[in-house]
Structure 1
Amino acid sequence: MDFDLTHGSAILARTPTTLHAWLDGLDTAWTSVNEGPDTWSAYDIVGHLLHGEKTDWIPRAQLILAQGDDRRFSPFDRFAQFEASQGRSLAELLRAFTTQREASLATLCSWQLSDSQLALRGEHPAFGEVTLRQLLATWVAHDLGHLAQIARVMAKQYRAAVGPWREYLPILDRG
């Protein structure tokens, strides 16, 4: 499927609601557990999404749209949530993420992007030249990837408990 701003925005708008419905009020036995060393819990993922919302998607889009002399993105700290989320409850992170996402989508909508603007280019520190369309499509896929990651991390908590049904639950064995 080619990227469509309306379709993509529909997913971006639903991510906070999905996370609230899914995670808010759950026991930390569900939200703080991960898959082992160097993996993330649902709590960590929400913190990561919040950090990205503040420092990644819209700032990079603004840099592309400005078409200044330097269109190189600042590197994104994929682990900043570990420090930024300290001392905050999951409920706080969910509220902050919702507020930040609403602001991001309002900004995105206000731009009324044309096809020619979606084709504008910036420079990713690792990938080189990328288009605004690719950045926005990645934002949507990133959300969906982390929703799937949360489902996998949580499902794995019942890996042993499902007994022989594990054979029919590939989510329990995927990394």
Structure 2
Amino acid sequence: MTFKIDQAIDLLERTPEVLKAMLSGLSNDWTRANEGGDSWSPFDVVGHLVHGERTDWIPRTYIIMNDSDQKTFHPYDRFAQFEESKGKSLEDLLEEFESLRRSNLEQLNGFGLTESDLQRVGIHPSLGPVTLLNLLSAWVVHDQGHIAQISRVLAKQYKDEVGPWTKYMTILKYSPKE
């Protein structure tokens, strides 16, 4: 499939609803559990998505789209959610994510992006030159990866309980490499 902005938005606008359907109203036993070690819980993932909405996708789009010679992105703190989510409930984070995503997609639509805009370049601090097409595609894939991650974390809470079916449950065989 070739990238199309309207198709990207189709997925991006659904992520808050998907997460609410998956997580809203669940106990902390579900939402604060992880896969062991330094892996992330669903709560951590939603906090990470909130932080990204504030500091990553649209701010970097503005950097790419501006006429300044300064095109280098600010480094993204992939672990900021651990501090920023303190004192918040999962419901707070889900609502904040939904609000920020709605606002960000309004801003994205406001750019009126053209095919040539998608080829504009910004500088990622570790990846080097990236196009707006790369950034927006990564946004979509990033969402889908974290939805899969949350599903995997939830599934793994019953890893031992499924008994012999474990060999058929491919979701239980993945090991996180945060």
Same fold (TM over 0.5): yes
What is the DSSP-based 3-state SS (H/G/I as helix, E as strand, rest coil) of the residue aligned with 1:74?
A: coil
Task: Return structure 1 stretches of 4+ with deviation > 2 angstroms.
Answer: none
Give per-residue Cα distances to partners, 1:16-61, cap 9 Å, x unaligned.
Answer: 0000111010011110000111110000000000000000000000
Per-residue deviation, 1:2: 2.1
Per-residue deviation, 1:111: 1.1
The letter for the 2-side match of 1:15 is T
Partner of residue 77, structure 2: 77
Partner of residue 97, structure 2: 97
Partner of residue 148, structure 1: 148
Provide the rounded CA distance (Å) in 2 between the counterparts of 1:122 and 1:67: 11
| TM, length-normalised to structure 2 | 0.97
What is the DSSP-based 3-state SS (H/G/I as helix, E as strand, rest coil) of the residue aligned with 1:10?
A: helix
What is the DSSP-based 3-state SS (H/G/I as helix, E as strand, rest coil) of the residue aligned with 1:158?
A: coil
| TM, length-normalised to structure 1 | 0.99
The letter for the 1-side match of 2:45 is I
Matched, 1:133 2:133: yes
Provide the rounded CA distance (Å) in 1 between the counterparts of 2:131 and 2:85: 31
Give per-residue Cα distances to partners, 1:89-132, cap 9 Å, x unaligned.
Answer: 00000000000000000000111100000110000001100000
Partner of residue 60, structure 1: 60
Provide the rounded CA distance (Å) in 2 between the counterparts of 1:140 and 1:112: 18
Provide the rounded CA distance (Å) in 1 between the counterparts of 2:133 and 2:46: 24
Per-residue deviation, 1:3: 1.5
Partner of residue 108, structure 1: 108
Structure 1 runs not aligned, ≥5 long: none
- Tell me the percent identity: 50
The letter for the 1-side match of 2:84 is A
What is the DSSP-based 3-state SS (H/G/I as helix, E as strand, rest coil) of the residue aligned with 1:77?
A: coil
Per-residue deviation, 1:67: 3.3
Provide the rounded CA distance (Å) in 1 between the counterparts of 2:111 and 2:58: 11
What is the DSSP-based 3-state SS (H/G/I as helix, E as strand, rest coil) of the residue aligned with 2:37?
A: coil
Count, aligned residues: 175
